[in-house]
Structure 1
């Protein structure tokens, strides 16, 4: 489809829900997340689509790095967002941070012990990076080393992260050096997992690699090694187990149906910590519990989908933080006979090396045997997407006003 056709379809749809990622979709990817910005017109458009729009992101709503700060900066006044309900509703931190448009925030299913350990993680990351990084970048002066560590550690509340983008930029064409940084990061995060286990939190956390090459036989996400023109995995998040976007998709559907019918088909307390963790079980749960007539048309919008031919040449390693929820959304459309749409935004135009949609080959993104099919591709990146999103919100508002 083209974007005009999708807009017309949604204006005519009696019940739809847009589920949208954030970084790389409505704002460009940047090396330092503190430099991100949102357009005020996008925020107002999201408000016009209230009841038909929500976010699903691995970032976070709150904190000094949270998306709420970007909303407030765009509007120029923190009170405007809270009083007028202009925050972005939906799930953050992979699904454990739930927020409405007025900024009311909860962490369904998360224990005090887990929150306490998470609060200690940024300090532990700092100590581990200080011990491991000098051997990987031995030419870095002490002052620069401390600055890089400070920039790399994203001290978010429930998904603390180490991001290598600034360090990668120091060695832009050194693939072996970039891979050494990735190996260091992987080892560091495994040490954090061992610390959690030592403190009795055996099944509380997992590591989300972005972007990744899917999961290995143990269920762990595969790191995507740097290659010429594609830095591969840039960060690893220390996340609460269950915080996967496909489970979050069901939470959002459950709440959308409840807002329309007054009944939560999956239960009022359903959350990602109690949800099944594999696509087949999530799909089966929907088919068992959600009446056919209550399922809305779903539109999934993301940018991080990967596919790389395996080293043996006998298959594909598919991953990306948006692949799971987009695939589930596609399969729900088939099961519930809904024209669900999968939309992919080209995020390669930001500050991070990513495969591009420019030549229509989808190399590094998809493959000829990929079960995930894109209904709409947006090669113009976040700018093109935001323009379309604003047009959709205004056109739909006008259509509703005239009926």
Structure 2
């Protein structure tokens, strides 16, 4: 499936006059870990991202701010809490799937989000803890009260606008126990549906959705499908409680709109365009671009991600395709095809971290893609985040010299 090497991609991008790299974070520029608080960013990666100012944005389901935010990782990498804001070294772009916008100086906003939604979100982590305390004991009878409370603390990611339950630590206690892992996944789904029911009771039925990571695409009702655990692949590890509209393919258009505005002084989709007021399906998003963005304004796009899945349908023919990066990478590819320009899709192997993921090592793309997959990868990076970061640094250096 791969058509280019990293070296060939480097040569193509080094002199591209209107380049825009849109990049995921976890599993791409840093390894996947069981506890997000242990993540680390390389300092030279942070500097390279700053050197690509105007040509680089992040698009992540994580968050910029808070104790779990990527901004803390930037500060830790540089060993300085003041320098990133002073020198513009924070990672610019969209977090929380698209509702949390940040510039390189750390100025943060949540376009389109209401005060009522923010108030409800603030109470979600405590509700998650109470629900887990009810549901986990019969599934993990071997854990004492102290151990159980510790695991609940590890599982809940108390982020501001996308609170999450992550099962990685619990899965690590049950290596190869596929059936018990699946029971935990079912419990997790039940807890999150309860949260959705409570949001509806509070008059916020249309405000939120559940993002499953990794997933097997969407069902007939538009809900993301759990990826059940199986030997060698734990499947879905977490579910995020997210604001509706916070999907990466819509975020892609927000970043393109802002990029064009920075270059030309005018935002073709409107100065206030955000993920809460945009259509969600690919056809409508493509149409929006073609109606408002002329060819000479559309940047040369490169999408970089790691979470793409594909598995045979258990009922028969066809494939269940998903993954949190699939949507935006597919739209980016479709924009390239429809505008007649060489947009590039880069897939980084994140299987070498602490979380079980399908590997690129044997070239089969089993569990990632399939022979009928419309998403094509221009470049695969089997060397994982380390290889990608090394390449990213050389690209930033080459463009700086140019």
Give the TM-score, by structure 2 length: 0.99
Q: CA deviation at 1:313?
A: 2.9
Q: Which residue of 2 aligns with 1:77?
A: 80
Q: Structure 2, unaligned stretches of length 5 or more?
A: none
CA distance in 2, matches of 1:12, 1:73: 32
Which residue number corresponds to residue 121 of structure 1? 124
Equivalence for 2:347: 344
The aligned counterpart of 2:40 is 37
1:46 is aligned to 2:49 = yes
Cross-structure match for 1:236: 239
What is the alpha-carbon distance in structure 1 between the residues aligned to residue 226 and residue 14 of structure 2?
40
**Within-5 A mapping of 1:209-228:** 209-228=212-231
- The residue aligned with 1:157 is 160
User: What do the CA deviations read for 1:183-206 (whole angstroms, capped 9, x no partner)?
Assistant: 000000000000000000010000
Shift of 1:312: 2.3
CA distance in 1, matches of 2:147, 2:14: 52
| Counterpart in the other structure of 1:329 | 332
In 2, distance between residues paired with 1:235 and 1:143? 23
Contact in 2 for aligned 1:296/1:338 (Cα 8 Å)? no
Q: Is structure 2 residue 358 aligned with structure 1 residue 386?
A: no
- Counterpart in the other structure of 1:112: 115
SS in 2 for 1:135: coil
Match of 1:90 in 2: 93
Secondary structure at the counterpart of residue 181 of structure 1: helix
Q: Once the two structures are superposed, what CA deviation does each residue of 1:353-386 show, in whole Å capped at 9, x if it has no partner?
A: 0000000000000000000000000000000000
Partner of 1:303: 306
Unpaired runs of 5+ residues, structure 1, are none
Q: CA RMSD in A?
A: 0.5
Q: Stretches of 4+ moved more than 4 A in 1?
A: none
Distance 2:47 2:73 in 1: 13
Quick check: 1:32–1:166 contact (8 Å CA) kept in 2? yes
1:214-272 deviation line (CA, Å, top 9, x unaligned): 00000000000000000000000000000000000000000000000001000000000
Within the alignment, does 1:271 sit opposite 2:284 as a pair? no
- Aligned equivalents of 1:91 and 1:258: distance in 2? 16
Cross-structure match for 2:366: 363
Q: Matched residue of 2:376: which SS?
A: coil
